[in-house]
Amino acid sequence: MKILVTGANGQLGNEIRLKAKKSSNTFFFTDLVEQEGVETIKLDITDVDAVTKMVKDNGIDVIVNCAAYTNVDKAESDEELCHKLNAEAPKLLAQVMKKAKGMLLHISTDYVFGGEANNLPCTEDMKGKPTGVYGKTKLDGEKNIIATGVNYVIIRTAWLYSEYGKNFVKTMMNLTATRPSLNVVFDQVGTPTYAGDLAEAIMRILFDYKIETAEEGASTGARKYSKNGIYNYTNEGVCSWFDFAIKIADIAGNKDCDIQPCHSDEFPSPVKRPPYSVLDKTKVKQSFDVKVPYWTHSLRKCMKNLMKK
């Protein structure tokens, strides 16, 4: 298959680059921002002509959309651009792939929840009630994709980190090494997600799609994919941001920083974060035989790589 990855210079995109080296598929990595040391094709996912040309000229079978507007706080004052990237662009990508008889694999978020008083892991069929612009536009993006009738897989994930870019793990490694004390919120509960594990799950889904839809002499997307749907993926387990920070400091060996729990309202924000957004992963595990590592195991793996640098 020929696979186009958008937002390829982000955390997840870079992890997919690594997995692609061992794949028999052909990958095209695109982004609006160049990254030193890696080959990137410049592509604006809001430009329908550019996307259509890219798909047609290269015979693209699947788009993996990792691109998004992800600044949760800034989204509240930048709603137009956030909606364009998170709601309109996914619809455009879906429409192009519908015409190409291919599939769109789209990355969504736990922020589609947040207005619910949850105390059990969120399942894919729960109605989303986002509390801010970011979550609302991501939920709108999901709905827009489904409405096109394209073959699709939507993956909701949360608390993403990796060896690439800026993320909570890198920030806490630095702060707990340089500050005598630190306050971290304990009233937001979810599960960290190592981007490398999510990339591995995506590769497994792509393999499944290739096997099911491939027919001799026919396009891979010539028929409806039986596993079209929304799926949750994070690592296993549950923690608060405070627990997450404690574990990061412990693995890093930063023993001198006094980390204390605090409430979310001690850090004023224009948007309310989901207080409980643990995602149930039963569906993705059963549908694609995906193995999901426990969050502390993956955290150790990532931090080991980071501490080598």
Q: Which domain holds residue 120?
A: 2-163+192-236+277-293
pLDDT above 90 (res 145)? yes
Looking at residue 149, what DSSP letter applies? T
- Domain membership of residue 15 (yes or no) is yes
Q: Check 69, 134, 225, 233 and give the catalytic one.
A: 134
- Domain membership of residue 268 (yes or no) is no
Question: For residue 299, what are the CA distances in angstroms to 6, 117, 238, 250, 263?
Answer: 25, 28, 13, 11, 24
Summarize pLDDT for 81-103 with one digit per residue, the tens.
999 999 999 999 999 999 999 99
- Domain membership of residue 246 (yes or no) is no
Among 26-30, 35-39, 229-233, 252-256, which stretch is predicted with the lowest mean pLDDT?
35-39
pLDDT above 60 (res 79)? yes
Q: Where are the alpha helices (DSSP H) in 129-281?
A: 133-148, 168-178, 195-213, 241-252
CA dist 161 and 167 (Å) reads 5
- Domain membership of residue 207 (yes or no) is yes
Whether the CB-CB separation of 96 and 51 falls below 8 Å is answered with yes
Q: What are the beta bridge partners of residue 190?
A: 239
Nearest to 206 by CA among 97, 104, 90, 309: 104
Question: For residue 157, what are the CA distances in angstroms to 176, 213, 306?
Answer: 26, 26, 22
Q: What percentage of the chain has pLDDT greater than the value 90?
A: 89
pTM, rounded to two decimals: 0.96
- Domain membership of residue 172 (yes or no) is no
Report, as an integer, the average pLDDT of 11-20. Answer: 97
CA dist 141 and 291 (Å) reads 27
- Domain membership of residue 307 (yes or no) is no
Summarize pLDDT for 162-213 with one digit per residue, the tens.
999 999 999 999 999 999 999 999 999 999 999 999 999 999 999 999 999 8
In angstroms and rounded to an integer, the radius of gyration of the C-alpha atoms of the chain is 19
Summarize pLDDT for 47-68 with one digit per residue, the tens.
999 999 999 999 999 999 999 9
- Domain membership of residue 145 (yes or no) is yes
- Domain membership of residue 175 (yes or no) is no
Residue 275 CB-density burial (10 A; 0-12 exposed, 13-18 middle, 19+ buried): buried
Total number of domains in the chain = 1
How sure is the predictor about 37, in pLDDT bands with cuts at 50, 70 and 90? confident
Report, as an integer, the average pLDDT of 6-11. Answer: 97
**Mean model confidence pLDDT for the chain:** 95
Q: What is the pLDDT of residue 216?
A: 38
161 a catalytic residue: no
Q: What percentage of the chain has pLDDT greater than the value 70?
A: 97
How sure is the predictor about 215, in pLDDT bands with cuts at 50, 70 and 90? low
Residue 193 CB-density burial (10 A; 0-12 exposed, 13-18 middle, 19+ buried): buried
The domain that holds 60 is classified in CATH as: 3.40.50.720
